[in-house]
Amino acid sequence: MVAPTAPSTFVGRPAADVALEVVQSDGATRQATLHELSRSSGVPLVLDFFAPWCKACPAAAQHLERIAQDFAGRCLCILVCVDGGADAAKEFAAAHGLSHCTLAAVDEDEDLAAKYGVKGLPHKALISIDRTVVQNYELELPSDLEALLASAAGSDAAAPAAGARAAPLSHISAQYKELEKSDPILRENPQRWVMFPIKYPGVWEMYKKH
């Protein structure tokens, strides 16, 4: 096994993929990877690596359970059992009343020390939608998650504005044709290109950008 690297050195890097056995709602399990869960959920991931024998892990898991409830639909909270497999993960969840987090067990061949610097438990990590490590081990919840969600929301809000500047010319032309039908000033005449920007500045600005 590769010697553990300081968890902080992973921040800002692409999140390493991890093979998992994921517990489904009916108790059955399926094979999946961390990247697959990220792509299918389309939301940030909050990971909590734990072991059933870890004394500090129940409290950390119950904290993550509250996060999963409070941020339902906005993030995916995954409890990753590192010792004992999926059966141990299910027993741990039942013993501590955990029902909102996704349960998973790490494949025994995975080297979490090399991939995430895991050297003590519990170990949390925050992964963005584009699968970048945002925080690792020293994770403050919910503040770090709220900051990531706010940042993502800001980026999404800017996207429509960029799209409007790049609106297809055919769409703008269609707008003009509709205006032309209802406004005689815009019909074929020498003054229409003078009046057009005065009366319909929004459409005119889009025309200029093309």
- pLDDT digits 0-9 by tens, 69-115: 999 999 999 999 999 999 999 999 999 999 999 999 998 789 999 99
Q: How far apart are the first and last CA of the chain?
A: 58
Structural domains of the chain in order of their starting residue, each with its CATH number: 7-145 (3.40.30.10), 165-209 (no CATH)
pTM more than 0.85: no
| 179-205 residue pLDDT tens | 666 665 555 554 555 555 555 565 555
d(CA 203, CA 210): 11
**Strand (E) positions, the chain?**
19-23, 29-33, 45-50, 76-81, 102-106, 123-127, 133-136
**Spatial separation of the C-alpha atoms in residues 144 and 164, rounded to whole Å:** 32
What pLDDT sits at residue 152? 83
Cα distances from 181 to residues 20, 67, 106, 177, 184, in angstroms, run 61, 55, 65, 6, 7
